[in-house]
């Protein structure tokens, strides 16, 4: 069993999970309502505001999903069945991480697509609207990548399902802001480079720690 097979198996499971199904329906509806209501975003561009919202909600729930799944599977000794085969522990974690991130990306794209369609229907030029949608997509993905890495690490470190869920809600939400807040608070900063850097560096560090700890843990 290689990492690709693990990824496919985990992705199928995540896409069928209630959390992802709720996000796939709820996030687009939420974006549509916000776009029609036009809330006061305190000067933050609407698309950036939407990205922050998606990264916060999607990332937090993704972190909880990952952390509780890993903690629960460790407690039930599910990984014993994998490790009697030639499967690396890093493949187990990375397969689960990227599967969760892919499922969340699907929900984020659906939500942002709704916002784009509403803007086009409202009279915006399709090219301009699509171009404006690039930054929030990157911001959302970066925030969710960080939150999911937090959830993965907590799933490896914490033995209690309840504790891992609570910590994921708090830490996942807080740390995911690293990717989006600088651009929201200082609009003159380059959005894409900051988001890309945060979305690559922070998860890489957290995943590396999780893999090292997982390799040394007794399952």
Residue 199 is predicted with a pLDDT of 87
Please list the ranges in the chain whose pLDDT falls under 70: 1-2, 39-48, 79-86, 122-133, 180-187, 189, 218-219
Residue 83 is predicted with a pLDDT of 59
Number of Cβ within 10 Å of residue 126's Cβ equals 11
Q: Which two tokens stand for residue 212?
A: 């090292």
Residue pLDDT, tens place only, 21-64: 888 888 888 888 877 777 666 656 666 677 778 878 888 888 99
Non-local (6+) Cβ contacts of 16 within 8 A are none
Q: Classify burial at 106, counting beta carbons within 10 Å of its beta carbon; exposed 0-12, middle 13-18, buried 19 or more.
A: middle
Non-local (6+) Cβ contacts of 201 within 8 A are none
Instruction: Give the span between the Cα atoms of 22 and 3, in whole angstroms.
Output: 27
Residue 77 is predicted with a pLDDT of 73
Instruction: Give the span between the Cα atoms of 197 and 6, in whole angstroms.
Output: 27
Instruction: Give the span between the Cα atoms of 71 and 167, in whole angstroms.
Output: 12
């Amino acid at each position: 069993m290689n990492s690709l097979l693990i990824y496919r198996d985990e992705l199928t499971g995540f896409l069928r999970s209630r959390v992802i199904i709720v996000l796939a329906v709820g996030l687009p509806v939420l974006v549509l309502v916000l776009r029609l209501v036009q809330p006061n975003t305190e000067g933050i561009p609407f698309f950036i505001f939407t990205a922050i919202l998606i990264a916060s909600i999607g990332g937090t729930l993704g972190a909880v999903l990952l952390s509780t799944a890993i903690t629960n599977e460790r407690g039930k000794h599910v990984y014993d069945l994998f490790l009697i085969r030639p499967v690396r522990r890093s493949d187990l974690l990375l397969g689960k991480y990227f599967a969760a991130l892919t499922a969340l990306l699907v929900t984020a794209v659906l939500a942002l697509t709704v916002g784009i369609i509403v803007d086009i229907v409202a009279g915006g030029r399709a090219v301009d609207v699509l171009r404006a949608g690039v930054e929030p997509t990157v911001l959302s993905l970066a925030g969710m990548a960080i939150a999911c890495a937090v959830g993965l690490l907590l799933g490896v470190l914490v033995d209690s399902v309840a504790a891992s869920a609570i910590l994921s809600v708090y830490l996942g939400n807080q740390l995911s802001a690293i990717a989006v807040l600088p651009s929201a608070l200082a609009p003159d900063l380059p959005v894409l480079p900051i988001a890309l850097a945060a979305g690559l560096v922070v998860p890489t560090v957290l995943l590396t720690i999780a893999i090292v700890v997982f390799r040394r843990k007794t399952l």
